[in-house]
Structures are given as C-alpha cells and as structure tokens.
Amino acid sequence: MKKSVICFALGAVAMLGIGCNEKKNVQAEKSEVQKIIEQAESMSFDELCKKAIEESKSATIKGIGNSSRGKTAGAAFIDYLKSLDPSYGGTIEWSQPKNNSIFTTLTVDYKSSKPEYFMTLIQDGNQIQSKMMDTGILRTFIPKEWAEANKLEKKDYPELLSLQTLNKVFMFNNGNGTDFTNCWDFVAEGKSGMYMDVNSELVGKNFLYMLSSDKYSTWLKNAFDALDESKKSYFKPIIEECATVAKNYGIEGENAKYGLAWAKLWVQNYNAMTDDGPICTELVTKSAAGEFALIVYSKLRSVSETAEASVNNITVAAYKDGYKGIGGYGYCHYLEVMDSSPYPWTACAFISFMVTKLDGFSAWGKDMGGYSANPVLAAENEAKYNHSKAGGEEFPAKNDRGFEWWSSENGGALVIEDPKYCSEVSIELGDWIDSLRGGR
C-alpha cells in the first residue's frame, strides 16, 4: 500500500511536470503577428511597402495613439503608398482616447472576436510594460534601417521601439530677479511649482519613480553636494527620513534617499494644473514674476509675443551657466504592433515610415523638444528645421540643444523613463506618492 501511494505521488509529480512543460511550450509559441514581425525585421522599407499595398489595398485601417499627429503621419504614409502604386485605395483612421483610457481600449480590442486596431502610438512606459507587453497584447517591430542606423545587432534590439523622446523642463519667470541655480531650489522651503497632476498624466509619476534609481539619485546627490550648508540643513532631515522609506520599499541604491527626498518635497508642494498649455500661457506673462514650472519644452513655440507676454520673460533652468542637477525629464512615444493586428504588414511599414523617413517623422519633428531615436533621421530633421537656432539671438530659450546635451549629466540632465524600472517600483512607490498628496 505504501509503495502504491509513493508511486501515485511520483506519477502525479511527473504529470504535473509534463503539464508545466506543455504550458511553457504553449507560451513559447509565436503568434502569427510575431512570425510576420520576424520576417519584416529582415526586409527593407520598400519591401515592406509592397507587402502593405498587397495587404490593405482597399481597406480602412484603424490606428490609435496618445498623439493626434498620428493622423498627419498616416495621411503622409497613404500618399507615399499611392506614389508607389496609384491604384492603392487604403485609408487610415486615427483615434486619440482621452483620460488614460487607451490601455482599456486596446485590451478590449485585443480580446474581441474581430479586432480593429492595427498598431498604436502609446506613452507611459510603466503601464505599457505591465499591461501591454507582459500580457502579449503589443509586439515590438524593429525596422531594418532603424537598427542599421543605430548599429544594433538583433540581440541588442530594444524591447520597445521609440518614435521620439520628449522633454519636460524646469522654467522660471525671471521678471523680479528670481533665480534658480540648483534643482534643489525648486523644492526648497516655501516653493511651489506648476505641474500637471501626477494622476492626470502618468508619465509625470514615472519621472518620480525614476528618481529612486541609482543613476538619477546619484545625480541628485551630486547636486545636493553643491549646495551651501544653510540650504543643506533644511534638506538633511528629510533625506535621512527617506533612507527609511527606501529600506522599507526594498530600494537598495546607496543614494536612493536623495531621489526619494526630492520626490517627496516636489509632490507635497507642487501646484496641480490641468495641462501644460495653460501653465505656459501663465508663466510667460509679466505678472507671473518669480513663478516656475516643469512643462513640455516645445510649448515655447506657440507663445505669442505681446507687451504682457514673452518667451524672454522665462529662463530655461538648465541653460543657465553653472546650473546644477536635473533639468527636467524625458518620456517616450512608443510605436507597437497589436498582436491581434488585422494588417500587420501595413503596421510594420507604417512604423518604419515614421522612424526612418523624414516625411513620416516631420509631424512631430517640426517642433523642438522631440528627439528621434534614429541618429540618421535626427540629423536630417535638424538640417531641415534647425531647432538649435529656432529662437536666434532674440529668443535664446528656444534654441534647442539637442538630445545628447539634454540627456547628459553635464548638460540638461534629463531623467529618462525606463519602463521596466517603473513597472518594478510603481506598486509600492505609487501608493507612497499618492499618500503624499493627501486629499489635494
């Protein structure tokens, strides 16, 4: 009897092992879209366009994204396909969901019996990772020309494909002689900057998550070390308090307490606004002397010069000689293929168009503050639009110094979103950040 029980138990374990192996095999099986992406990654853009023309010759193709400019890029792509084949009759419809609903919309579409969306342009690396990539709803396609421009072998391909990195930067109104020479000045006692609420635009929350990482917490420590002793004395107790926060949440970097302290002070004191547009409109006025904000850099392009308002009323903090510490943060627009895409070849061709062709990127590239991850395309874009001299001598704040400068600690020191890191720490730190705002 005892032997029978033992044999039964061993048999059950063996069956369980077989079941687990079968499950792993099922999970390892590539979807049809993944198989197409695998082929597409070895094909040129022109070859992809031929496939797209065959696949969607008379179709209405539906795209979805966080940027309305996808509609402009879509129209340019259709025109390009028609230039190759005048009989091509496909059209692209573009939608832009509001209030962070894109993740629900994509999930529902993926699970439907007749999916509609063929690709997406999407932001918020944290939710993309946890809700879209980890679940297999989205798949990454890396165009051949993009990989070649970045000198990447297949083993080094990124897990997400960036259309562009955008920057939000610290700006302050210089009207009454107010000055900010260190990023810790923005969280000093009594200071309150204008900022889109972290739960209205979640990339702003990702910025705060990233401050706890080794790289950016060290940048903040370096900036702290540059402060005089009187300023340090205010921050030191908060930094030591946040050493305990780091320990409680398992954040092991030796300088994490600096990042968490800066985040704590910023979150507790910022002046929540609905959108960067109204913030910019207020900040550039004479009456806003002494105010400051963390907003999209490209908003400066739309400032109308009047007797009351001017770009020259503000200073981009990181452009000041001798400024110390982070100058803002960067987040990406990612281009991904739906795993349920009804037109995967067309999706790959459209994505390649946006990240390798100037006509495809210009919907975004025409404005400063957006940086292509394709160095060849980035150079072409700068040659056409000359963002480094957009303001000339008259409006120096509009002279964009480019991604390499902005992303360097010795330049603009942007805090760049890392989707995986944000996903790992967001469960704990998200609740902590929300608790800091209280009922506001």
Q: Which of 407, 408, 363 is nearest to 381 (CA)?
A: 363
Q: Do the domain assignments include residue 5?
A: no
Same domain, 145 and 120: yes
- The pLDDT assigned to 98 comes to 86
Confidence tier at 28 by pLDDT (50, 70, 90): low
The predicted-structure confidence for 211-246, as pLDDT tens digits, reads as follows 999 999 999 999 999 999 999 999 999 999 999 999
The predicted-structure confidence for 242-289, as pLDDT tens digits, reads as follows 999 999 999 999 999 999 999 999 999 999 999 999 999 999 999 999
- Residue 138 belongs to domain spanning: 34-163+332-383
Q: Is the pLDDT of residue 38 over 60?
A: yes
Q: Which of 403, 429, 439 is nearest to 259 (CA)?
A: 429
- Candidate from 172-181, 276-285, 292-301, 430-439 with smallest mean pLDDT: 430-439
**Which residue is it, tokens 């004191």?**
269
Confidence tier at 13 by pLDDT (50, 70, 90): very low
Q: Do the domain assignments include residue 111?
A: yes
Mean of the per-residue pLDDT values for the chain?
Answer: 93
- The pLDDT assigned to 439 comes to 47
Q: Do strands 414-416 and 328-338 pair parallel, antiparallel, or not at all (unpaired)? A: parallel
Same domain, 405 and 426: yes
Q: Are 209 and 202 in contact (CB under 8 A)?
A: no
Distance, CA of 405 to CA of 368 (rounded, Å) = 14
Confidence tier at 24 by pLDDT (50, 70, 90): very low
- The pLDDT assigned to 25 comes to 41
Confidence tier at 16 by pLDDT (50, 70, 90): very low
Same domain, 183 and 284: yes
Same domain, 256 and 361: no
- The pLDDT assigned to 56 comes to 98
Q: Do the domain assignments include residue 19?
A: no
Domain count, the chain: 2
Confidence tier at 200 by pLDDT (50, 70, 90): confident
Q: Are 290 and 313 in contact (CB under 8 A)?
A: no
Same domain, 351 and 297: no
The predicted-structure confidence for 343-379, as pLDDT tens digits, reads as follows 999 999 999 999 999 999 999 999 999 999 999 999 9
Q: Do the domain assignments include residue 143?
A: yes
Same domain, 159 and 171: no
Same domain, 304 and 366: no
The predicted-structure confidence for 382-416, as pLDDT tens digits, reads as follows 999 999 999 999 999 999 999 999 999 999 999 99
366: its two tokens:
């025409």
List Cα–Cα distances, 280 to 23, 69, 197, 316, in angstroms.
Answer: 53, 21, 15, 12
- The pLDDT assigned to 411 comes to 97
Q: What percent of the chain has pLDDT over 70?
A: 93
Listed in sequence order, the residues at least 6 apart from 237 whose beta carbon sits closer than 8 Å to its beta carbon are: none
Confidence tier at 26 by pLDDT (50, 70, 90): very low
Same domain, 204 and 222: yes
Q: Do the domain assignments include residue 151?
A: yes
- The pLDDT assigned to 10 comes to 36
Q: Do the domain assignments include residue 17?
A: no
Distance, CA of 48 to CA of 40 (rounded, Å) = 7
Burial of 427 (0-12, 13-18, 19+ CB in 10 A): exposed
Q: What is the mean pLDDT of residues 12-39?
A: 63
- The pLDDT assigned to 199 comes to 87
The predicted model scores a pTM of 0.90
Listed in sequence order, the residues at least 6 apart from 428 whose beta carbon sits closer than 8 Å to its beta carbon are: 249, 250
The predicted-structure confidence for 325-337, as pLDDT tens digits, reads as follows 999 999 999 999 9
CATH number at residue 59: 3.40.190.10
Distance, CA of 267 to CA of 45 (rounded, Å) = 45
- The pLDDT assigned to 306 comes to 97
Q: Do the domain assignments include residue 22?
A: no
Q: Do the domain assignments include residue 23?
A: no
Q: Is the pLDDT of residue 23 over 70?
A: no
Confidence tier at 15 by pLDDT (50, 70, 90): very low
